[in-house]
Structure 1
Amino acid sequence: AALCLGFALQAHAHAAISPALGVKGTPVRNDAQRPQKNSECGNIDIAKNFDSSTAVQAAANGSFVATITNFNGGIDGSRQVTALVDPTGTGKSFVSADVLQNGDKNPNDNGSQQLVVQLPAGSTCAGGASKDKCLVSFTTAGGFGNCVVVQQAAAASGKGDSQSTAAAAA
């Protein structure tokens, strides 16, 4: 039984993006999900966790920074991601987002990297009680990932200058 449990844990999760939806503090291996179509946040209850999860602040130009941590090397622990954004925060209206700074596709070791993502031009985050949050689903090249809540600044327009982008990437 212990051997089966060990294999189940190994197959469960290999990279997570923080701050992760429904996770207090830094994500651990078991916090990563397997995002899929119609279940982009894995098995996390979006409605229950959306407003209570730590949100990443988007810059005025719509870019934001998140951190990916892998728990094993190789493609299985890939830190390279694709991103989808749901401006409603419900998990039902995802559209593609541009990853401006990505992680390593095939890392040799465990570690963390910053990701910089651009919300689609003209996006207005309207989710949550504050009506200014988006839900972002990340999926690694290895098929793991999770969702992150992003809070949009009141003046965000989806456009910005190079100083805002540089500040968001810093």
Structure 2
Amino acid sequence: MAVARSVSLQAHAHAAISPVLGVNGTPKRSDVQRPSDAKPCGNANIAQTLDSSKAVQLKADNTFSTTIQNFNAGVDGSLQVDKVLVDATGTGKKFVAAQMVKNGQKNPPTVTSAAISVKLPGGTTCQGGKNKDLCLVSFKTAGGFGNCVVVQQPKAGGAKAKVTAKANASAKGAQASPTTELKRAVRRAEFKNRMNA
């Protein structure tokens, strides 16, 4: 009887961290995975869903915040993340430990959600996805459930880089003007020579 009850609890014990890799919109109980050392994202297809999944934005201090939602109370629906890993390649093959900055409750009395925060290791450069700016983060709760989340790292320089690029383009345009004028003058001279010939 105890074994049957344990299996029943495991079948209904879930918590998901948003946005779930490969899931559009609000996660459901069926979207929750059982991360393991061999499969830190559970059964999610990383290659097919990395670029199409909603990404959480990484801040300049290498932290990001998101939400964890449980689907039942108690430790089995724990909001506490016991293991968080990051793979800067976005392939799901090179995970290293990250750090929980703000965690959820281990034994929540109700079905609820909580804000959580993670800090990636110093020097982390996200290199996954077609734009080479995505990291993959694996979460595993005290209840043994969880999933992966895609994190996007802003390009170095951000708005400053855009302003610099625009200024450089303007400078190139200004430098090109004398060349353009010279070409026009040469064409006019060639036209006059043909007319006088």
TM-score, with normalisation over the residues of structure 2? 0.73
Q: Is 1:122 the equivalent of 2:123? A: yes
- What is aligned with 1:153? 154
- What is aligned with 1:90? 91
Tell me if structure 2 keeps the 8 A contact 1:38–1:92.
no
3-state DSSP of counterpart to 1:99: strand
Q: How many residues align?
A: 151
Shift of 1:128: 0.3
In 2, Cα distance between the equivalents of 1:46 and 1:13?
24
Where is the helix percentage greater, Structure 1 or Structure 2? 2
Shift of 1:66: 1.2
Higher RCO structure (Cα 8 Å, ≥6 apart): 1
Tell me if structure 2 keeps the 8 A contact 1:9–1:30.
no
Return structure 1 stretches of 4+ with deviation > 2 angstroms.
7-10
Specify the code of the residue in structure 2 equivalent to 1:115: I
Structure 2: segments with no counterpart, 5+ residues: 1-6, 158-197
Tell me if structure 2 keeps the 8 A contact 1:87–1:127.
yes
Identity %: 61
Tell me if structure 1 keeps the 8 A contact 2:10–2:76.
no
CA RMSD of aligned residues (A): 1.8
3-state DSSP of counterpart to 2:105: coil
3-state DSSP of counterpart to 1:110: coil
Q: Deviations over 1:7-53 (max 9, x none)?
A: 87961651000000000001011100000012000001100110000
Structure 1: segments with no counterpart, 5+ residues: 1-6, 157-170
Tell me if structure 2 keeps the 8 A contact 1:33–1:43.
yes
- What is aligned with 2:14? 14
Q: How does 1:131-146 map to 2 (within 5 A)?
A: 131-146=132-147
Larger radius of gyration: 2
Where is the strand percentage greater, Structure 1 or Structure 2? 1
- What is aligned with 1:33? 33
